[in-house]
């Protein structure tokens, strides 16, 4: 498939998400079984694809990769609490599920539960003694997730929920799947210990009892009433818990048996004949996959009445093919039963779109590229950022000590144009990683950047304007084709990190703002007309829910262009009117942001506005807190900090030494407006340090080039 076909496919996927979606609510039978398989990763998916005895099972249905990031550190408990509550959440030490008569640390758990809460539990009911602690802990976070909201909502709508299974490993009890079925009192119907049987050679001496679980599910699914069942399939988790003590040969033998047992269960379940819908998902990947940075978990969907049917699983939360969010699972379950009041949830119900052929091969190929970029992102970006810093230091030295030497001036100009063009090359080339090793890719990027700088400087009369318009047009086109390039660029956003899935990321937001601003240097169009066209275009694209969807960048663009208009056309306005004008700009931009969310495509900006209009100002305050925490974390630990500090120090140093960077009026004003935009990005974005660094880098390079141009 060539690059044009890939672009067209990506664009069609976006259209399908918007227009062609089929929700799970349209399924018949209203019986949903979710198989929770902790430690299941794409390594197991590939093994089953190659070695499974029911390979047609994996080639059918729908498959996607799920972001599994919780609030806090990565763990099975944190991840499953997040999935069950539909909001990033935390677990609590000591959390588990029990039934009457179970003993923990020589104490009868239901008696402890009565001592702690004053409540008595009936036989056959699963309960959670630490519910109150889990609720209190999550109330103290900035996400404020509602524990038990999924099970409670299902109960209120008459949906019977049932849990089967466990992931107990020896004396360590692990029954976290009950979080999907329990109500807000922490209770659920189900069977914990009955779902396993003794198996001396298996990990922890037990194995999931396929026959018993199938029989139990048959009883549930033969009922006419709608039902929701969760099976916690713990064999793989138990195996990886004991891997460190097993011989390599025996581990591989048990690994194969464990996966084939899971495959047999799924095959028998789907061939039972009654109408049901089956979803397999992994709340976490095992330690080997995690350390290999394969940190997206598999999710599969099958319909028993059409086992061989193929689907694309799509998410309005991510708007990317083969990527969904853990926040989508709870809304999807509720939507399956026609429960439409999903205002509490940030995630959106998954959609499925019929496909003519299996989507597995295509999906695995795209997911492998995601993993490759995530694995190498830190090395590539740290090398890239270091090179940019070295470039700035070298050109600074040349400007200070060799600005009268034509040879050194030409070298400096070439370096500066190379640096400004590098974000363009990073945007256009990510899919070449399907064919190139990352180190070769980085080397070619460096060579192409210098070659671009040399050729542009040699043949283009105004290199800064040329590169600016190339960046502006390329980013604009990418926004209209569904961020096909940006979503895989090293300067884009990463689905494994999950901070953003669509729109314009903060790295390119900084580049986009300044590239648009630098177009105003053109003298071929009346400047007031150019300001109007570029300013309105950027504000529209950045604020649109279906395009840029970046509130911080929208406000920053408004302030940047507002400052340019103020200094360029109304320089004598006093400071009181100046402050009033800028306050008005902020208010008008917020109104524009709101209006741009009033379409069928939902975004995180529209969600924030809806919460605010519902009177939930605490959500806005919590969001601001998270943005400040993120900025501070990035400043302390990110590679971007060195570029941020370098660019801001250099612009301050040169201002101190030379008083004015450039003497030509329009150029000086453009630099000043760019600094305003960069500072606004720093203050108004959750990754403001990143956006400020990329924007100020373009400003410093441009100002240095103009200095050399005027010498």
The pLDDT tens digits for 80-104 are 999 999 999 999 998 999 999 888 8
Mean pLDDT across 503-526: 88
DSSP type of residue 194: G
- Confirm if 384 and 442 have CB atoms less than 8 A apart: yes
Question: Does position 28 have pLDDT exceeding 50, yes or no?
Answer: no
Q: Which of 441, 435, 434, 395 is nearest to 415 (CA)?
A: 395
Answer for the pair 347, 325: CB distance below 8 angstroms, yes or no: yes
Residue that the structure tokens 């974000």 belong to: 423
Residues 405-423: what's their mean pLDDT? 90
- % of the chain with per-residue pLDDT over 70: 92
- Of the two residues 29 and 215, the one the predictor is more confident about is 215
Residues 445, 466: Cα–Cα separation, whole Å? 19
State mean pLDDT over 61-68.
92
The phi and psi torsions of 107 (rounded to 5 degrees) equal: -120, 140
Q: Is a pLDDT exceeding 90 seen at residue 668?
A: no
State both tokens at 342: 């999903």
pLDDT for 1 equals: 46
Paired residues of 299 in beta bridges: 64, 281
Check residue 688 and give its pLDDT. Answer: 84
The yes-or-no verdict on residue 501 having pLDDT over 60 is yes
Look up residue 297 and give its two tokens.
């978990």
Q: Is 552 helix (H, G, I), strand (E, B) or coil?
A: helix
Residue 600 has pLDDT above 80, yes or no: no
Specify the pTM.
Answer: 0.88
pLDDT for res 2: 54
Q: What is the CB neighbour count within 10 angstroms for residue 84?
A: 28
Residue 613 CB neighbours (<10 A): 9
Backbone angles phi, psi at 57, to 5 degrees: -60, -45
Query: Given this model, what pLDDT does residue 585 score?
Result: 85
pLDDT at 528 over 90: no
pLDDT at 343: 63
The strand pair at 31-36 and 277-281 is best described as: parallel
Mean pLDDT rounded to a whole number for the chain: 87
Highest mean pLDDT among 47-51, 312-316, 605-609: 47-51
pLDDT of residue 15: 46
- In this structure, of 145-154, 206-215, 257-266, 612-621, the range with the lowest mean pLDDT score is 612-621
Q: In the chain, what percentage of residues exceed pLDDT 90?
A: 50
Residue 389 has pLDDT above 70, yes or no: yes
Tell me: pLDDT of 144 over 90. no
8 A C-beta contact, residue 699 and residue 527: no
Average pLDDT over residues 700-704: 91
Contact 150, 84 (CB under 8 A): yes
Neighbours of 614 (CB within 10 A): 10
């Amino acid at each position: 498939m060539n690059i044009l076909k890939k672009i067209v496919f990506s664009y069609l996927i976006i259209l399908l998400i918007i227009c062609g979606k089929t929700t799970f609510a349209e399924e018949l039978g209203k019986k949903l079984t979710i198989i929770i398989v902790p430690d299941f990763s794409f390594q197991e998916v590939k093994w089953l694809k190659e070695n499974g005895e029911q390979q047609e099972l994996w080639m059918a249905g729908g498959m996607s990769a799920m972001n599994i990031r919780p609030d806090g550190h990565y763990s099975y408990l944190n991840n499953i609490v997040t999935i069950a509550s539909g909001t990033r959440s935390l677990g609590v030490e000591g959390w588990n599920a029990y039934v009457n008569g179970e003993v923990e640390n020589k104490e009868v758990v239901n008696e402890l539960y009565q001592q702690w809460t004053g409540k008595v539990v009936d036989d056959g009911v699963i309960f959670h003694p630490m519910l109150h602690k889990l609720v209190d802990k999550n109330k103290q976070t900035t996400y404020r997730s509602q524990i038990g909201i999924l099970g409670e909502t299902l109960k209120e709508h008459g949906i019977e929920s049932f849990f089967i299974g466990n992931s107990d490993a020896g004396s360590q009890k692990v029954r976290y799947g009950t979080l999907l079925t329990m109500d807000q009192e922490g209770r659920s119907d189900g069977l914990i210990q009955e779902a396993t049987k003794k198996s001396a050679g298996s990990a922890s001496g037990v194995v999931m009892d396929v026959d018993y679980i199938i029989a139990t599910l048959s009883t549930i699914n033969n009922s006419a009433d709608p039902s929701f069942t969760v099976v916690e399939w713990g064999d793989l988790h138990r195996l990886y818990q004991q891997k460190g003590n097993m011989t390599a040969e025996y581990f591989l033998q048990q690994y194969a048996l464990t996966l084939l047992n899971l495959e047999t269960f799924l095959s028998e379940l789907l061939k039972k004949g009654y109408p049901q819908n089956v979803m397999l998902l992994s709340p976490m990947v095992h330690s080997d996959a995690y350390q290999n940075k394969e940190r997206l978990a598999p999710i599969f969907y099958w319909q028993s009445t059409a086992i061989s049917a193929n689907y694309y699983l799509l998410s309005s939360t991510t708007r990317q093919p083969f990527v969904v969010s853990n926040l989508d699972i709870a809304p999807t379950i509720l939507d399956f039963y026609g429960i439409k009041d999903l205002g509490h949830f940030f995630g959106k119900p998954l959609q499925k779109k019929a496909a003519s052929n299996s989507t597995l091969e295509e999906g695995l190929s795209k997911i492998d590229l995601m993993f490759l970029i995530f694995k190498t992102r830190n090395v590539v970006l740290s090398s890239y950022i270091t090179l940019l810093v070295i470039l700035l230091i070298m050109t600074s030295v040349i400007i200070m000590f060799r600005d009268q030497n034509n040879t050194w001036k030409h070298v400096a100009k070439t370096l500066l144009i190379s640096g400004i063009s590098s974000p363009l090359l990073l945007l256009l080339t990510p899919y070449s990683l399907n064919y190139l090793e990352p180190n070769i890719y980085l080397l070619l990027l460096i060579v192409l950047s210098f070659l671009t700088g040399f050729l542009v400087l040699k043949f283009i009369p105004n290199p800064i304007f040329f590169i600016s318009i190339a960046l502006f047009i390329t980013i604009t086109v990418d926004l209209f084709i569904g961020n096909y390039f940006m979503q895989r660029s090293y300067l884009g956003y990463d689905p494994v990190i999950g901070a953003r899935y669509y729109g314009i990321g903060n790295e390119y937001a900084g580049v986009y703002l300044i590239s648009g601003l630098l177009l105003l240097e053109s003298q071929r169009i009346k400047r007031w007309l150019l300001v109007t066209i570029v300013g309105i275009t950027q504000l529209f694209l950045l604020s649109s829910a279906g395009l840029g969807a970046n509130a911080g960048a929208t406000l920053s663009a408004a302030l940047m262009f507002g400052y340019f208009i103020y200094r360029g056309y109304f320089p004598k306005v006093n400071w009181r009117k100046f402050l009033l004008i800028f306050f008005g700009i902020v208010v008008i931009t917020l109104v524009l942001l709101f209006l741009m969310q009033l379409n069928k495509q939902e975004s995180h900006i529209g969600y924030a506005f809806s919460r605010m209009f519902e009177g939930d100002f605490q959500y806005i305050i919590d969001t601001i807190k998270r943005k400040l925490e993120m900025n501070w974390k990035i400043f302390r630990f990110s590679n971007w900090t060195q570029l941020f500090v370098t660019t801001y120090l250099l612009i301050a140093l040169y201002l101190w030494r030379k008083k004015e960077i450039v003497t030509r009026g329009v150029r000086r004003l453009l630099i000043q407006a760019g600094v305003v935009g960069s500072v606004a990005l720093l203050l108004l974005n959750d990754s403001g340090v990143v956006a400020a660094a990329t924007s100020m880098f373009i400003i410093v390079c441009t100002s240095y080039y103009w200095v050399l141009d005027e010498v």
